[in-house]
Every structure is written in structure tokens, then in C-alpha cells.
Structure 1
Amino acid sequence: MTPEERPREHKQVIYRFKALLKSGMHILDNKDIQRIKEAYKLAAEVHKDMRRSSGEPYLFHPVAVARIVLEEIGLGATSVIAALLHDTTRFGGLTLAEIEQRFGKDVSAIVAGLNRIAEINHSKDADQSENYRNLIISISEDIRVILIKLADRLEIMRSLNHFTKEQQASKARETFNLYAPLAHKLGLYKVKSEMEDLSMKFTENEAYKSIIKKLRNTTVARNKFIREFMEPIEEKLNLQGLNFEIKGRTKSVYSIWKKIQKQNVPFEKIYDVFAIRIILDTPKDKEKTECWRVYSTVTDKYIPNPSRLRDWVSVPKSTGYESLHTTVVGPDGRWVEVQIRSKRMDEIAERGLAAHWRYKGIRQEAGIDEWLSQIRDIIETPDISPEEMVNSFKLNLHSQEIFIFTPTGDLKKLPVGATVLDFAFDIHSQVGYHCMGAKVNQKNATIREELKNGDLVEIITSKNQKPKKDWLNFVVTSKAKSKIKQSLKENEMQVADLGKEMLARRLKNWKMTLDDTTVSLLIKHYKLKDATVLYSSIFHEKIELSDIKLVLLGDKQPEQAEPQKRVVEHRVTKFDDYLIIDERLDNVDYRLAKCCNPIPGDEVFGFVTIGEGIKIHRNTCPNADRLRDKYGYRIMKAKWREQTESGAFQVTIKIVGYDELGIVNRISEIVSKEMKLNMRAISIESKGNSFVGILKVLIEHTNQLGNLLSKLQKTAGIQRAIRVNR
């Protein structure tokens, strides 16, 4: 640069910075302006010798980004300062600690988030999943990071002419696939449209130039048509005393190109290349009423297409977008799109999320909050892989919406293709976990049924229902997918813990210990990923415990093992398929379930509990069906060891009969004298001529119990004697 050029260049930089300050003079106070000036001086010092690809001073870029942040997105002083400083730490001029000391934690955190995104390898072979991943994390921490990043990318796209062809193609694709949809999701429709147009300029240049040329050539005719269309409408609106402004807006180049491709017609046959926007200056409490008054006025004059009515005033989009859209037949039979909204609605449509902060308390903020909550759900899902995170993010980014009603009239927004199960998880995770089906518009529906716009859905739940792996095949929302995966993971960890308990117990019987060496040997032998898979395989019986013993013993035959181990082998292999229960339950972690009080001789099964070892239940236990249905994977076959020593278990017997004199004595004689059993308690309750008695007695085996019941039922005055679970 020549000495003569330097002062001129310096003036250009100063001019651009003053334009930035001027654009914020109505919303920034003196303190804000002083902080922005300080940030500008620091940025100017760091970037003073740096140049852009175009040869311009690098400082042009942060100043331009800051201006987009302030003017076009509508953020405040903190974001403007962060935009000015967003490249200063990457180029070694400042540290995050220095920025925090001078401008506070918020600015420092935003710059750190922007750095994280900027540190991505943008080569053509780079895996873009890392780009998505960093964006997701940034969004979850502070939404301003991504808003400034959008401003940064928009400024780069506006300057893309100075990049290499390869860089142009790469950045255009990335902008179209990632940043434009993100701008759309955050309600920045103007930014989104410009990004799409600029992306098309560098990927479909011939089509882009052709549409631009034809739009220029039809400008005069288009403006004349708009005037003719609006004159009778303006007259009627003025008579009604409405304050309004009318704008004729040409649709984006990209949206026109999409119509040409979709309809397979030339540009001249695309009639709705522009939209007419009527913007009302009215208080918030009158917005809806006056928007519909304008709609009525327009459709009184021109015939509307009922299928093209879009009411986002009554039900705003999740981005907060509010507007009435209709398409009518104008002069010469041409279709015209008319958009009707208030001044507040228009600002939200132009500035998206940032405008919500200006209109605090409006209910449409919930839509953005819901979406950000879903993004945070993605981040907080345990053990989610980068690829899964990316896919979930893309799903949230690109999904179109349907509106579903709950039985109480609440409205839920879900992506197109959402199922009953997606809806259940949207209500609450626990509702999703236990969803069995639903009533959709009063008709029974399965959890797989795809919902349609306007459906009324009532979820049906069951405590016995739990997430299954195949659910992942038909849910579409990221919340449902992440919660199902989380539940399956937690369940598998519980299963692994139970498998570990089973292995540790069996090793203890074999006089072995469960240590890292043993586990490593088994993982290596079975070629498994880790210990969790080993324990789960043991629990699901994919690996037999008897096989594990052979692996650990190596080439030793049972008779070659130590005497103690031969005894263990004899006791284990004899009953490989069953859990063998010693009636005294010595030295094993078994417990008899109190709900059914099993005794030797009962047909039983084992149920592996969490933290209480194995509980033994009778096959006829009132809880048996529930345990088998809900926890079938935790059921173990079990039977009693042949009885060698006496042992007694308390049994409760219910006796029903006639209330006769001496009936208690008869029962006592049978129990104590004839059967020689220990009677622990007896109670009799009379009911008219009948009685109901409860007898508690110690029994050693089911054969004894059978004999006792038989004798009681043959006794005069006793109608029925049965065992009960008490």
C-alpha cells in the first residue's frame, strides 16, 4: 500500500464504524457506546496489518458483522462488542481472560463459543459432523453465539466473490445446508432468504443470473400491476380508518427457482413471483381483529383460493412467526399472495428471535424455548455419539410442523411424520415410556400410527409398558429417540449389574474371585467389547456360567481339580438349568418372597432383584404374571433341593365352614395331635351361621400341607380349606 492510500483506507474504516454507531443511536446509551468504541480500538490494533482475500483491511469484516448484528438481527451492545472482537483471540491479539476482565463474562463466553465453531477444518474432505456438533453445543450454551455466527456467515457470503472457486462452492453448500435452515428455525427469514440466494449464486450461477435478469426486465410491469391491484383495497381500508403500510415484495431468487423446477414451467408461467404485504399499525390487543378485517376486505374484492389460506395469527409458528397469508385471483386472472400482519408481527418476521426480546412476555417465545429445550436434550443425552447428535440436530433443523390437540385443548407442535409415540414423549418422558396406544379422534390407534394435522389425541398408558428397541424404527422426534435410547441404556446397565452379581456369586461358589484379571480373560476369550457386554450376555444366558468355569479352569478336568472344587462341580452341574434352593437357604443370597410364602415342594421361580439378591416366588404367586410380562429377562428357573434335614416354613390356611360348637377344637386336634404340626395362630370370625377362620401353621414340605388340607376338608362342619398368600 502506498503512503497516499493508507489515510484514505483509514477514513473508510472510520466511516464504516461511524455508520455502525449511527444505526444504534436510538437503542444504545452512552455507556454502551463507550464500551463499543473500546472494543473497536482493540480490534483495530489486533487486525491493523491484516488483509482479506480482496485486499481490503481485515477490520472491514468485524465492523460489518457487528452492523448486521445490530441492524438486521437486532441484538444489543454485548453482542455488538462480541462481534467486533470475535476474531481477536484466534489471531493471537487478545486472550479470553483479557476480554472477560475488560468486557465481562458474557462477551468472553460468546467469543469462546465463536472460536469453537471457527476451529473447524473446512477442507472439502472434512467431516461436517464436527461443524454441526460445535454449533449444537454453542446453541445450548448461549443463543447469541449462533446469531452472531449467522451474521458472520452472511457477511462472508456477501464477500464471496473474492474467494477461490473451491472456497466459494464449499461455503455456499455449507451455508445452504446448515446456516440458512438454522436462520429459518430462529425466525430470521430475511437472513435465510439472502443466504439461499447467495448460495445459489455460486452453485447454480446460470439459473441465478437468468432469474435476476428476468426480474429486472419485469420490474415496471410488476409495479404497475401492484398499484392496480392495491388501489381499490387502499380505498376501502382508508374508509375503515385503519393505519397501514403496503409493500410489494419480490420473492427470493431461490424460491422462484424452486417453483420453476417443481412446476416444470418457464419463469413467465410463474405468476406468484411477488407478494403484497399489508402492515397494520395497531395496538397488540386489536391485532387479530384488524388483521381479519383486512382479510375480509381483500377477499370481498378478489376471489381467494381457500386451500392457500395460512392462519399463523391464531396459531403462530414455533419460531414466533405471525401472519395471515392468502392467495387471491387479481386483475388479468393472475394469482397474488397477500400477507397481512401488524407492525410488531412484521418486526418479529424480519428479526426473529431477537425481536422476541423486545416484546417480552408474548406467548410465541415458548416455541423458540421448546426448540432450544429439544437441542439441550440432545446435548444432555448420556453416551450419545457425535453422529447421533448430528442426525438429531438435522432432524430438529429441517422438520416441518403439524399441530396436534390434547384432550384438554392444548396445542402441540410436532414434525411431519410424527407418530402417537412421538406425541406421548412430547407430553412427558414418563408418558412416552408407558405409552400403549392412543385414541386419535376418538378411534383406537397403535403407538406406530402417524398423526395428521389437527388430530385430537388421547394417550393410553400402562405401568407394565416399557421402551423397546424397535421403537426407534418409527419415532421421528429427537426427544423420543434420545429418551428411548437413554432408557434402553439404563436398562442394559441394570441388566449388566444383575449379570455381574450372578457371575460373582457363582465364582464365590467355585472359590474364585471376580477381579480385573478374570474379567479381562473372559472378555478376550469371548471377543467382547467390554465388561458391560460380558455381564449382559451372562444375564441373557448368551454365555453359560458352566462354560465360564471351563474357560477359567483351562485344560483341567473336573477330577484333576482340588477336592473342594470337585464338590462344587458336583453341586452345580447336576442342576445346570435350574437355581437350586436349599430349604435352609444357607450361604446363598436367596430370599423367600413374602407375597406368596413358598415352601419346599412348591413349584417356584427365582426373580433377580436390584440390591436384594434373588427372591423365590411360587408359580401361582399373584405377582407372577406381572413379573414375567414386565421383567421376563430377570426370571430364573428354580427348584428345591431334595430334603435331607427337617426345616419348617409358616403357611397360612383359610378355613370356611358352619359355625358349630367345638369347631375350633376339631381343627386343633387335626393340626396338633393327628399331624403333629406346630400351630402358630388361629382366629375365627362368625358371620351368621357360617365362620371364616385363619390358621397359621409350620410346614416342612408341600406333601405335609396337602395331607393337612385334605384332613381339614373331610372334617364335619368345614366346607373349604385352602392355602392363602399371607
Structure 2
Amino acid sequence: AELVDGVTKLTKIEFISKADRQAENFRKMVVAMARDIRVLLVKLCDRLDNMRTLDHMSAEAQERIARETMDIYAPLANRLGMSRLKSELEDLAFRYLEPEAYRELSAKVKKTQAERDKYIADVCRTLQSRLAEQGFAAEVTGRSKHLYSIHRKLRAQQCEFEQVYDIVAFRCVVESMADCYAAIGVIHSKWTPVPGRFKDYIALPKPNQYRSLHTTVIGPGRERIEIQTRTPDMHRVAEQGIAAHWKYKERLGGGVDPRDAESFAWLRELMEVQKELRDPAEFLESVKLDLFQDEVYVFTPKGDVHVFPRGSTPLDFAYTIHTDVGNHCCGARVNGALVPLRYKLHSGDVVEIVTSAQQQPSKDWLDYAVTGRARSKIRNVLRTDQRERAVKTGRELLERELHDRGMSFSKLLKNHDEQRKLVEATRVTNFDELLLSIGYGKIKASEISATLAPPVHDDEPEPVPSLRQG
């Protein structure tokens, strides 16, 4: 009875005003009424059943329920680690929210399904055989990513279905954690890994306790494919999420087994939340509880949600939008007020980036940026600027040195044979690298002039004739 009552209370939450809509997009709502996590599990199943039978409702109701599902229930299923449930909810919501895009994508996927199934079967056989040769007892399976996931990729990559990559994924379930890492080595020896696409969710599990190793490789036919390795326990949690950990015992009253309590500390907070939702302001306050301890959820002016590590700043937000926006970011408006770049973002903030064509990244920005993307982009600009300045300095130093020795720098620039000799003598890769090394002080300009005009016995150094001034 308590579970049914809890589910009923969740159903009564409504969103009317703009503030309510923002609260809805915040993706944390249903925790407020759930003393017992099973209420949420039942509600998710109830919502899945509703979505499967949505055809019989009016168009208005279809869109409202689908939007609520996409904004709240699918993210909640993801937060609980229930990936299969989340994927089905997203696909069903996608069908009603963007019916034309859904029909078009569904038809394209169906048209190429037979070919893709054959490809998946071939890769599975190859993987299974390769791992068996190396002594791994592995269960290999493959699948196409679900429709909404492919739709997101199409939007993100701004390309046609035929051009999208990485829409098939493979799982290798192996016996131990050590085998997970070793299997990745076998996979990388077979197919070339895509740089920057290896993710270690075993050492750093997701907040929902998802654990696996992810890598993307260039597979057969030069296709990008994602491969995950995990143990049977990890696979169970990846598929079932919290339901794989939850112990339905009377003595716990629907609570977490003490052995799992540490891993799901955030759930203790979720179960303890019991508040009345009287108005949108109160609702916003309740959903801003520090449930996601290492994440902040912020909004664009259009209401799109972005998730950042706690401590992130407007710079992290700007580089998420686009590299150029980040490079020219000079400030931000947060909730309508101008803030400096060092401002720490808070959950619920509405952020608008202010840019200037004259703005360029500075070294101080590394003290403010938190995300790997922002920091790498800033470092890249700083390295490029520093390199250009060093090359310019090296050029000036060498030009001055050669002038003092009666040689022409401009003639050296046209004399590729002498440049090649200098590159070989100094063991650098090219002439620009030589100028860079002079600019950094690794090579002295006087050493270069001595190479170009070596002393003959006790006489004064004699410049190479082709480089003499005049």
C-alpha cells in the first residue's frame, strides 16, 4: 500500500509555469517523495507501460507525457544505472516528440539492418576467436545503438545517417577485472584504437556505479566500433542498475544492504528526502539538494541542460559550446547578472556567455578551468602562441647574429642546402624547429653562425659565399 501511495503522489506532480518547466528539466524531481527506492522502481515500470500504450491517447497528452519521460524518467533511469530501461524510454519518447525524424531514422536503420547484423556477427566471431587464442574465456555480443542515441549522434556530428560513425557496440564479458584490462590490450593489437576514446569506468565508476572499460577502434571495413569489457558482476549492474544491488528484505524496509551502502551513499540521501511540493520555488529548492555530489547541472538561456564537475566555471561552459566561444570568452551572465570568469557554477544557474573578438586565452585561465576539454583547448592556444613568439625571437636573434658576421639572413632563407646542413648539424626536424630552439635558448645563435662561417686555421671565419651580405 505504501508503494502504491508513493507512486500516486509522484503522479500528482505537475508543471505549469516557466519556473515549473525549468524545474522539470532539472532532472532531479522524483527523489522528493521517495522514502523507499522501490517507489521509484515501480514508477519507472509504470511509466514504461504508459509509454508502450501511448497510441490510445490524444496528441496533446502524447507530447506532454513523452516530454516528461524524456526530461525526467529517462534521466532518472540512467541515474539509477538502468540502461536498458532508459534506452527504451528514450526511444518511445523520441517517437512522439519528433515523429518525422523518428520515422525517417527508423526506416534507414531497418533498411541497413541485415547488413549491420552480418557485420556484428563477423566482428563477434573475430573477437571471440582472438580472445580465445590468448586464453580468455569471454562472452562476446554486439548490438546497434538505440534510435535516440543515433539521433543524438546525427545532431552532434551534423551529418547524414550514412556518414555517422560508431553506431555499433560490442561487449566482452570476461572472468576478472585483470582480464578486462588484458582484453583491451588484445583488442588494440588487433585493431587500431582511436586516440582519446579509451575510458576507464572501472577505476573511475560513474555515479550510478556503472563500471566497464570502453575503447573505440577502427574495425573491419575501416568502421569505427566501440568495444566494452567488463566482468559478469559489472555486466549485471550495467544492465539492471540499482536493481542488481537492491535487497528486498523486510528488515531493511526496501533499503540498501549494508554491504552496498558505501557505493550508494547518495541513495541514503534520496530515501531521507520527504518534502511537500507546494509551489515551483519550493520545488526548485528541494531538487537542488546536493544529491549529485560531484556534478552541477546548469542551463543555457534556451533551457538546455549541461552537466559539469563541481567547481566548473563559465570557461568550462563556453568551451562546451564551441572552441571559438571559449577562446573569445570575456565574461558571462549568470541568472542575468554579469560574473567574472572565475565564478563557480551552481546547479540551476542559467548561463549566457559574453564574447569579444579581441579576447584571447591567458595563462590565468588554467587556474579557472576545470574540465579536461577546456584546459586542453587553453593549453593548445597558449602553446601555439608561445611557439610563435619563440620562433619570432629565434629569427630575430639569428638575423642579428648573422648580420654581425657579415651574412644575410634573407639569403639563408632562400638557400635550402644550407638550411638542410644546419638542421642535420643541430639534429632538429626542420628549420622552424631550429629557430624555435634558438628562441628557447637551447641553441645559441653564435653556434649557427660558426657553423655557417667556420674559422680556417688562425684566420677570421669565412662566411659561405652564397650567404655574404651585399
TM-score by length of 2: 0.57
Alpha-carbon distance in 2 for matches of 1:399, 1:256 = 30
Counterpart position of 1:136: 31
Q: Is the CA contact (8 Å cut-off) linking 1:188 and 1:353 kept in structure 2?
A: yes
1:268 equivalent to 2:138? Answer no
Distance 1:227 1:256, change over 3 A: same
1:418 equivalent to 2:314? Answer no
1:307 aligned counterpart, secondary structure: coil
Picking from 103, 109, 129, the partner of 2:2 is 109
Q: Which runs of 5+ in 1 are unaligned?
A: 1-107, 403-414, 421-446, 452-469, 479-726
Alpha-carbon distance in 2 for matches of 1:268, 1:395 = 43
Deviation at 1:331, TM superposition (A): 1.5
Distance 1:194 1:133, change over 3 A: closer
Amino acid at match of 1:167: A
Matches within 5 A, 1:635-714: none
Q: Is the CA contact (8 Å cut-off) linking 2:173 and 2:235 kept in structure 1?
A: yes
Q: Is the CA contact (8 Å cut-off) linking 1:183 and 1:192 kept in structure 2?
A: yes
1:352 aligned counterpart, secondary structure: helix
Deviation at 1:306, TM superposition (A): 3.0
Counterpart position of 2:114: 220
Amino acid at match of 1:320: Q
Q: Is the CA contact (8 Å cut-off) linking 2:139 and 2:172 kept in structure 1?
A: yes
1:156 aligned counterpart, secondary structure: helix
Matches within 5 A, 1:460-539: 474=344, 476=346
1:313 aligned counterpart, secondary structure: coil
1:339 equivalent to 2:235? Answer no
Alpha-carbon distance in 2 for matches of 1:311, 1:167 = 41
Alpha-carbon distance in 2 for matches of 1:397, 1:153 = 23
Residues 378-402 of structure 1 show CA distances to partners (whole Å, capped at 9, x for unaligned) of: x68x999752543662787899859
Alpha-carbon distance in 1 for matches of 2:228, 2:18 = 43
Distance 1:374 1:449, change over 3 A: farther
Residues 590-636 of structure 1 show CA distances to partners (whole Å, capped at 9, x for unaligned) of: xxxxxxxxxxxxxxxxxxxxxxxxxxxxxxxxxxxxxxxxxxxxxxx
Amino acid at match of 1:169: E
Amino acid at match of 1:370: W
1:306 aligned counterpart, secondary structure: coil
Deviation at 1:417, TM superposition (A): 4.5
Q: Which has the higher contact order (CA 8 A, sep 6+)?
A: 2
Picking from 11, 18, 22, the partner of 1:118 is 11
Counterpart position of 1:307: 196
Counterpart position of 2:430: none
Q: Is the CA contact (8 Å cut-off) linking 2:6 and 2:39 kept in structure 1?
A: yes
Alpha-carbon distance in 1 for matches of 2:291, 2:190 = 39
Distance 1:225 1:355, change over 3 A: same
Alpha-carbon distance in 2 for matches of 1:201, 1:188 = 20
Amino acid at match of 2:311: T
Alpha-carbon distance in 1 for matches of 2:82, 2:101 = 25
Alpha-carbon distance in 2 for matches of 1:204, 1:324 = 33
1:184 aligned counterpart, secondary structure: helix
Q: Is the CA contact (8 Å cut-off) linking 2:29 and 2:72 kept in structure 1?
A: no
Amino acid at match of 1:119: K
Deviation at 1:270, TM superposition (A): 0.8
Deviation at 1:150, TM superposition (A): 0.6
Counterpart position of 2:146: 252
Amino acid at match of 1:172: A
Distance 1:258 1:299, change over 3 A: same
Give the length in aligned residue pairs: 307
Q: Is the CA contact (8 Å cut-off) linking 1:186 and 1:368 kept in structure 2?
A: no
1:319 equivalent to 2:215? Answer no
RMSD value over aligned CA atoms? 3.9
Counterpart position of 2:219: 330
2:246 aligned counterpart, secondary structure: helix
Deviation at 1:218, TM superposition (A): 1.1
Identity %: 33
Q: Is the CA contact (8 Å cut-off) linking 1:180 and 1:196 kept in structure 2?
A: yes
Q: Is the CA contact (8 Å cut-off) linking 2:81 and 2:208 kept in structure 1?
A: yes
Deviation at 1:251, TM superposition (A): 0.7
Alpha-carbon distance in 2 for matches of 1:133, 1:337 = 30
Distance 1:392 1:257, change over 3 A: farther
Deviation at 1:371, TM superposition (A): 5.3
1:169 equivalent to 2:63? Answer yes
Q: Is the CA contact (8 Å cut-off) linking 1:356 and 1:362 kept in structure 2?
A: no
1:368 equivalent to 2:264? Answer yes
Residues 417-452 of structure 1 show CA distances to partners (whole Å, capped at 9, x for unaligned) of: 5229xxxxxxxxxxxxxxxxxxxxxxxxxx99989x
Q: Is the CA contact (8 Å cut-off) linking 1:110 and 1:145 kept in structure 2?
A: yes
Structure showing the higher strand proportion among its residues? 1
Q: Which runs of 5+ in 2 are unaligned?
A: 249-255, 297-306, 318-338, 349-470
Q: Is the CA contact (8 Å cut-off) linking 1:302 and 1:329 kept in structure 2?
A: yes
Deviation at 1:148, TM superposition (A): 0.6
2:226 aligned counterpart, secondary structure: strand
1:357 aligned counterpart, secondary structure: coil
Matches within 5 A, 1:432-451: none
2:203 aligned counterpart, secondary structure: coil
Distance 1:316 1:150, change over 3 A: same
* Structure whose CA Rg is larger: 1
Alpha-carbon distance in 2 for matches of 1:169, 1:387 = 25
